[in-house]
Amino acid sequence: METLREAARRLEQGETTSAALVDAALSAIEEREAELHSFLTLLPEVRAAAETADASRPAEAGALYGIPYAAKDNLVTEGVRTTAASRILEGYLPPYSATAIERLEARGALLLGKTNLDEFAMGSSTEYSAYGPSRNPVDPSRVPGGSSGGSAVAVAAGFCHYALGSETGGSVRQPAAFCGCVGLKPSYGRVSRYGLIAFASSLDQIGTLTRDVRDAGVVLGAIAGRDPRDQTSVDAPVADYLAEIERGARGLRFGVPAEYLAQGVAPAVRDEVLRAADLLEAQGLTRRDVSLPHTPYALDAYYIIAPAEASSNLARFDGMRYGPRDEAQDLLEAYRRSRGQGFGPEVKRRILLGTYVLSAGYYDTYYLRAQKLRTLLRAEFSAAFDEVDVLLTPTTPTTAFPFGANTDDPLAMYMADALTIPANLAGLCAISVPGRPAGGLPVGLQLMASPMREDILLRAAAALEEAVR
């Protein structure tokens, strides 16, 4: 499928119509969706909306006007079923839309449907969806990654021009790496979280999945910015990211921290990162040595902090207002049955773990120490970014793994996010760009930059994309 910008150019020049773009998307979906299962809900009214967009196209339509996109099903959409891939939200019709959705709609974007995910965004393979897994379009015997697996599949398979996902520990970048598209996690606070069903509130961030880096800049420019409804959104200027990319990356400094190439990273993935480093140097970027010694402990800290916040956030889902509810003798039994049937095994595991680490006698031992480690990690990144503008690492330790390979071993599943989690803990902006495939499967190359420096991140990412192509 063409890029978002190519579609916008053809629309502007009258070479195509929004209705034709939607028809092409629906045709692609009809051909492969039964196999890949990227969507939980498709909107039948999108065809009529496309015709309306064609009939009322303004003279100065922006790059997103009349172009179909998809959104992860943990972003609430007014009047459209939103489940977070959980039985406990089955049939839920939100009375409002997420800010990111509103901002795209204000620019004339056409929502094609809501995409599959790991239940409540808790997973790394989309195998934990209550409605069945999505499949990798490159090799359907392998996982697409998670938790934004459905969004990555929809973009990689050509079902839509771009998609929204969400990140708590790598849930945009990791599936982008597995499926071979571009996944951007903005800095914490860059994009409003209003309307994002919360997993871990100090980590969650809405991100983008696109076909190339410049498209990521276009979509980010549309959804970024301060939102008074989200007190964690930052009042920082939103750059013209396409103009920033055109400045080029020559003269930027980058580092390749050794801790991200350590044991557990597949040799083919490590080799591709080192090749990419050489290519960046050839493009005029300067390489410097950096070290992040606390990186190996980030995974441990994350799986204390994130479940702790999840256990608090998910307390509201009690089966009283929506979702399954059985008759019971008392309120406690009603809660027990509703949550027992409504939540899947991974969500239950994380609720139990989070409740445990926050309980009396264990808070200081686990949660407080994890937060101290998070502070150390942030300080290390800050020191590193005094020396370099961006960091280059693998996005994932391996390429996409087969279905069922890690479902019986939660620790092995959690390791899939070992290289993406540090950016979430530190609130950085980060992006995954496709490298050269290994064994026929996509390899993701990750770049990270200081908080609120998406301009620098995208400049470097565009140079990396061009170099490894």
Q: Mean pLDDT of successive 10-residue segments in the chain (469 residues)?
A: 95 97 98 98 97 95 97 98 96 96 98 98 97 98 98 98 98 98 98 98 98 98 98 96 97 97 94 98 96 95 97 91 78 88 95 94 93 97 98 98 89 91 98 97 98 98 96
Catalytic residue, chosen from 72, 97, 129, 185, is: 72
Phi-psi domain of 288 (left: phi exceeds 0; alpha: psi -120 through 50; beta: other): beta
SS3 432: strand
Q: CA–CA separation, 149 vs 177, rounded Å?
A: 11
Please state, in angstroms and rounded to a whole number, the distance separating the CA atoms of residues 139 and 36.
Answer: 10
Residue type, 457: L
Residue 382 sits at φ, ψ, to 5 deg, of -60, -40
The pLDDT assigned to 407 comes to 83
Q: At what angle do helices 99-106 and 213-223 cross, to 10 degrees?
A: 100
- Using CB atoms within 10 Å of the CB of residue 246, give its burial: 0 to 12 exposed, 13 to 18 middle, 19+ buried: exposed
Residue closest to 153 by CA, chosen among 46, 28, 19, 66? 28
**CATH numbers and ranges of domains, the chain:** 1-290+385-406+428-469 (3.90.1300.10)
- Residue 404's alpha-carbon distances to 125, 130, 388, in angstroms, are 10, 15, 40
18 labelled catalytic = no
Q: What's the chain's Rg over C-alpha atoms?
A: 21
Locate all alpha helices (DSSP H) within 121-240, ordered by sequence.
149-156, 173-179, 213-223
| The one catalytic residue among 148, 171, 233, 432 | 171
Question: Which pair of structure tokens corresponds to residue 410?
Answer: 């939660």
Q: What is the pLDDT of residue 1?
A: 79
Distance CA 339, CA 325 (A): 9
| pLDDT value, residue 386 | 97
| 317: Cβ contacts below 8 Å, ≥ 6 apart | 86, 88, 89, 323, 339, 342, 343
> What was the pLDDT predicted at 334?
85
Whether 286 and 329 have beta carbons less than 8 Å apart is answered as no
Q: Is 91 helix (H, G, I), strand (E, B) or coil?
A: coil
Look up the pTM and report it: 0.97
Cα 143 from Cα 225, distance rounded (Å): 33
Task: Check if 147 is active-site.
Answer: yes
Angle value at C-alpha 300, between 297 and 301, nearest 5 degrees: 85
Q: Per the residue annotation, which of 147, 151, 166, 192 is the catalytic one?
A: 147
Q: Is 166 a catalytic residue?
A: no
d(CA 218, CA 233): 19
Q: Which two tokens stand for residue 211?
A: 């076909």
Query: Which tokens in the block code for residue 381?
Result: 């990144």
The pLDDT, as a whole number, for residue 57 is 95
Question: 169-208: string of b/e by CB count within 10 Å (b at 16+)?
Answer: bbbbbbbbbbbbbbbbbbbbbbbbbbbbbbbbebbbbbbb
Q: What is the pLDDT at residue 410? A: 83
- Please state, as a whole number, how many other Cβ atoms lie within 10 Å of the Cβ of residue 45: 11
Count the Cβ atoms, other than its own, within 10 Å of residue 49: 20
**Hunting for tokens 């990162």 — which residue is that?**
273
3-class state of residue 206 by DSSP = strand
The gap from C-alpha 47 to its chain's centroid, in whole angstroms, comes to 27
Residue 3's SS3 state is coil
Tokens of 153: 């599949």
15, 26, 157, 173, 412 from 180: Cα distances, Å: 28, 21, 10, 10, 22
